[in-house]
Structure 1
Amino acid sequence: MNHAWPLTIRGTTATILALAFFIAAAQLGSVQLLAFGVLLLALVAVSLIALHIARRDVTLTRSSNPAVVAAGGQARVTVHVAVRTALPTTPGTWADAVPAGLAGRSDGRFPALGSGLRGGDRAIDLVYDLQARQRGVHWLGPLELTIRDPFGIARRSAEIGELTRVIVTPECVELPPLTAFAGATGGLLNATTTRVGQGADNLIARPYQPGDSMRRIHWPATAHNDALMVRQEEQESTPEATVVLDRATARWAAAAAERPGADPAFEAAVRACVSAANALVRDGYAVQVLDTDGTPLSEVLAGGEQSAVVTLVTRFAMLTTHGTAGLGTLARLWSGANTGPLVLVTSALGAEEVEALAPLPAHSMHPVLLATGVAGDALERAVATGWYAASIAPGTELRDAWLQVSQTDLIAAEVAAHGRAG
């Protein structure tokens, strides 16, 4: 219950006038002024009593559509309010509490409702729109409902309803393919098969065994041997890609470790991370999303499974900075391994970071480095060591940065096209 002043401007004015009449009546000895004062005070008292003795049962349900919204997106909130009362209600006001991470007008006039004696509750839907500003889990409510007596003298406010959760996920930007050539870095469009022999004519057939698929029967070999023969199993290479998000607490603003959405630079990094993972999954890669110390930030995302990206994006709604692993740790992790595309999203990039990351490009078919801050000629130094590097400072269009790390492949594609035309 809100303990604010229970009288409206009209009720406050009536009370002040009543006191003034009492004072004037005492000074002037006027019975009429005293009567007017008593009448005004009685009216105020009756209004307060009527407002509080009338029983009103108010129930509330709140829903958000969608319940999970990307940062920068919009959600429509519907608050269903049902009032059960013996007496008609007068118009009032309502205001739904909205946290700082969401923005929008969430108040308005509450209409008058008729008596419920003739059957059931009187209900109304209150609808308003919100814009998601900050990533994280936000709670709407409670709803503050203010009602007045029929004379507009007294008011009563109450906070009703449970809180409703709204999840704000990082924005997932649709990015173009990483390279100009379909599957040029090992995607499903370029998946290779390994067979014994150099072609279909050299496939080795073996005798049929229970459990073998009938579709794999090698009919020429079956006719030649007068027994069922099947083709040797094909071994398809699994195209893999890795996205690494630098979460070391010391490399970001202190607020990034406390709550999601507090550091614009870290938000730009999280957006780049999920967008890169989405682009690689769409292109057919099995994507690992890791921290710089090698800790998985999600399960492996299967190539082509966009639903897995949705799960990743939802999980990243509450992601904050964590740990102390340096970029040198990442270089040591990959010292004896190779991968397809490797996308590293990090914070400030200087000469020291470039030196620590210099060994990594040799272990990736397409190493991409995205930094939210760049010191001096650090990007040029990174490119010289083999990285496809770009800045994703807050305010930068991520799609433009992604095109920048692909521009070398675009040039190669044009050269190849001119060669075929010649």
Structure 2
Amino acid sequence: YVLGPRPRFVLDRVEPGGVREVSYRVRSDLRGRYPLGPLQLQLSDPFGMCELTRSFSAYDTLVVVPRTEPLPPLRLAGEASGYGDGRQRSLALAGEDDIIPRGYRHGDDLRRVHWRSTARHGELMVRREEQPQRAGCTVLLDTRRIAYQGGGPGSAFEWAVSGAASALVHMLERGFAVRLLTDEGSAAPGGDTDGFPGSVHESAESAGLIMDALAVVGHSDGGGLSRAHDVLRGGDEGLLVAFFGDLDEEQTAVAARMRQRSRGAVAFVLDSGDWTRDGRTAAPAAGSERLRLLREAGWTALPVPPGAELARLWQQAGQEGPGVRSSAAGTTTGFSGGRS
């Protein structure tokens, strides 16, 4: 019933072999996966003396993805290392000895056959095309149940989900290879701890997979961010954009350590107490303290007030930058002003 009342149609006097076409529109303000159908027919004679009911088993599925907000283009910090503008960087191939062949696939150009490797492996091998290396971006979504209060389309959690979707779409449009990471340590697409697509074609497919995942993402029962931290410390993660709920002192320290393996890190922190009616009971001093700790660790950390526009916060992050130099890494991070 989230999609509205069940549609009912009365078709009067359908002649033998006749065709009638009916349609209805569904709409939902709540993301999710909803079944449509199955169709049920009730047939009766003009006098109402006989009635037959027929039900079909086939049904369709409607996926309502989160709302996305267009974000302004900004030049990201670390551009000199290839993480700023998202342009593709080709791997240099020094010569014939550096070419790694692969097995022949139907449709490959026969002019790319590598005969030396073919003789060595006993099967047709072709030279692999130059592979573009793409800048990576991880969007971290905090889904912990204890980190959010309230529910519904206007809740803090739904804002975080919509914000993560907007950031993912924006970075994909800029040419980044992106992945979605949750506090439970699961990455999408891929379902493993890597999750980064390897080509532009894979990125187009991953966009749909990520949005499908965000359409049904719910609260986790976990109490911490340690699993996500374990995934992020496995290597150089490029740019990190995080959407955090309530953070206590311990989880703020864990989030601060996530910054160490990233070229740039931006955090949007939601105080769910401000998003509920009892927001007067929130502790502004505690919120300011956790933001200060994140900024000292090198994050560009911004508080998210109720009903805030992500585009405006995104622009603010680009203007402010990290504001604090990281004492651990000795580098600055965040956004830098400019146009891409």
Same fold by TM-score, threshold 0.5 exceeded?
Answer: yes
Deviations 1:353-391 (A, max 9, x none): 434322333432220112332652536423454322334
Q: Shift of the alpha carbon at 1:344?
A: 1.4
TM-score when scaled to structure 1? 0.52
- Residue of structure 2 in register with 1:127 after alignment: 23
- Residue of structure 2 in register with 1:370 after alignment: 268
- Residue of structure 2 in register with 1:287 after alignment: 178
Q: Shift of the alpha carbon at 1:248?
A: 2.9
1:82-161 correspondence runs (5 A): 99-100=1-2, 102-103=3-4, 106-108=7-9, 110-116=10-16, 120=17, 122-142=18-38, 150=46, 158=53, 160-161=55-56
8 Å contact kept, 2:147–2:245: yes
For the residue of structure 2 that corresponds to 1:103, the secondary structure is coil
Deviations 1:233-274 (A, max 9, x none): x9976522212222334334698xxxxx78943332222223
- Residue of structure 2 in register with 1:360 after alignment: 258
- Cα separation, 2, equivalents of 1:297 and 1:241: 12
1:204-219 correspondence runs (5 A): none
Of 287-296 and 181-190, more deviation after overlay is shown by 181-190
For the residue of structure 2 that corresponds to 1:126, the secondary structure is coil
Give the residue type in structure 2 aligned to 1:171: R
- Cα separation, 2, equivalents of 1:337 and 1:207: 28
1:231-270 correspondence runs (5 A): 238-252=134-148, 264-270=155-161
Query: Which of the pair is proportionally richer in strand?
Result: 1
Structure with greater contact order relative to length (CA < 8 Å, sep ≥ 6): 2
**Distance verdict in 2 for CA 1:390–1:248, change over 3 Å:** same
Deviations 1:86-109 (A, max 9, x none): xxxxxxxxxxxxx32x1368345x
Give the residue type in structure 1 aligned to 2:64: V
Root-mean-square deviation (CA), in Å? 4.5
- Residue of structure 2 in register with 1:339 after alignment: 237
8 Å contact kept, 1:274–1:313: yes
- Cα separation, 1, equivalents of 2:100 and 2:35: 58
- Cα separation, 1, equivalents of 2:12 and 2:67: 41
8 Å contact kept, 1:302–1:308: no
Is 2:208 aligned against 1:310? Answer: yes
Ranges in structure 1 where 5+ consecutive residues have no aligned partner: 1-98, 196-202, 216-233, 256-260, 417-422
Q: Shift of the alpha carbon at 1:341?
A: 0.8
- Provide the aligned length of Structure 1 versus Structure 2: 280
**Distance verdict in 2 for CA 1:274–1:115, change over 3 Å:** closer
Q: Shift of the alpha carbon at 1:345?
A: 1.8
- Cα separation, 2, equivalents of 1:386 and 1:280: 21
- Cα separation, 2, equivalents of 1:390 and 1:274: 18
- Cα separation, 2, equivalents of 1:157 and 1:308: 46
**Distance verdict in 2 for CA 1:285–1:411, change over 3 Å:** closer
Deviations 1:128-153 (A, max 9, x none): 111122222212345566677657x8
Q: Quick one: which of 309, 312, 315 aligns to 1:403?
A: 315
TM-score when scaled to structure 2? 0.63
Q: Quick one: which of 67, 70, 83 aligns to 1:174?
A: 70
Q: Shift of the alpha carbon at 1:160?
A: 3.9
**Higher alpha-carbon Rg:** 1
Q: Shift of the alpha carbon at 1:186?
A: 0.9
Q: Shift of the alpha carbon at 1:154?
A: 7.7
8 Å contact kept, 2:240–2:266: yes
Give the residue type in structure 1 aligned to 2:255: L
Is 2:57 aligned against 1:165? Answer: no
